[in-house]
Chains A and B, each alone.
Chain A
Amino acid sequence: DGGITQSPKYLFRKEGQNVTLSCEQNLNHDAMYWYRQDPGQGLRLIYYSQIVNDFQKGDIAEGYSVSREKKESFPLTVTSAQKNPTAFYLCASSIDHRSPLHFGNGTRLTVT
């Protein structure tokens, strides 16, 4: 079945450590996105990529980094510079920037 896979579902890290969240899609979509969701809040855009080897900052990119070396993969690194990293992270993809988004089931990151 085609879809978006985010792993792991739950992730725990100590403060000061960088951590990379995985996002893989086999939908052959060009565009990929990372969102962050805090309890009781809507989603906020961190980074997005419309094509391989290109990506743009979203609304809350500080403390995060991404790469897009392959069409199917868009990993997100949460760096130690991110002041409040504990959150629910959602990856999405779309055929292109005009099409609806397909979301993965998220990674819940807890940093203590």
Chain B
Amino acid sequence: DAKTTQPTSMDCAEGRAANLPCNHSTISGNEYVYWYRQIHSQGPQYIIHGLKNNETNEMASLIITEDRKSSTLILPHATLRDTAVYYCIVSSYNQGGKLIFGQGTELSVKP
């Protein structure tokens, strides 16, 4: 079973920030938080990951709460091409790269 809880769906207006929440209340100290997204009928795409510090790259920002029990993925200026299913995953390096994908959040960016 997935160790994360995400809303089933969300809407966002084009050009606005999309904030996707994820709860992972049972996360262990050595587990990272990963975010991937999947555009319809394509393979998932890696977005970002982090352990306890906030992270930012060219695609998104990841905000992890101090107790690490939840996180938020932020797409700063959502475009129509960001419409996808977003998966939040927790995993540790000693799990051999195995990632357990839940059902994710279906983000719809609207004009």
- For chain B, the bracket of interface size reads 20 to 34
Q: How far is the CB of B48 from chain A (nearest CB, A)?
A: 9
With A100-B34, A100-B49 in contact, do A43 and B96 touch (Cβ < 8 Å)?
no
- Provide the residues of chain A in CB contact with B93, threshold 8 Å: 97-98
With A40-B103, A42-B87 in contact, do A106 and B43 touch (Cβ < 8 Å)?
yes
Query: Which residues of A from 1 to 29 have beta carbons under 8 Å from B?
Result: 4
Establish whether residues A105 and B34, one from each chain, have CB atoms under 8 Å apart when the complex forms. no
Q: How far is the CA of A56 from the CA of B96 in the complex (A)?
A: 10
Q: How far is the CA of A31 from the CA of B99 in the complex (A)?
A: 13
With A42-B2, A42-B102, A100-B34 in contact, do A31 and B97 touch (Cβ < 8 Å)?
yes
- For chain A, the bracket of interface size reads 20 to 34
Q: How far is the CA of A45 from the CA of B99 in the complex (A)?
A: 8
- Provide the residues of chain B in CB contact with A56, threshold 8 Å: 96
* Chain A interface residues toward B at CB < 8 A: 4, 31, 33, 35, 40-45, 48, 50, 56, 58-59, 88, 90, 92, 94, 96-106, 108
* Chain B interface residues toward A at CB < 8 A: 2, 34, 36, 41-46, 49, 87, 93, 95-104
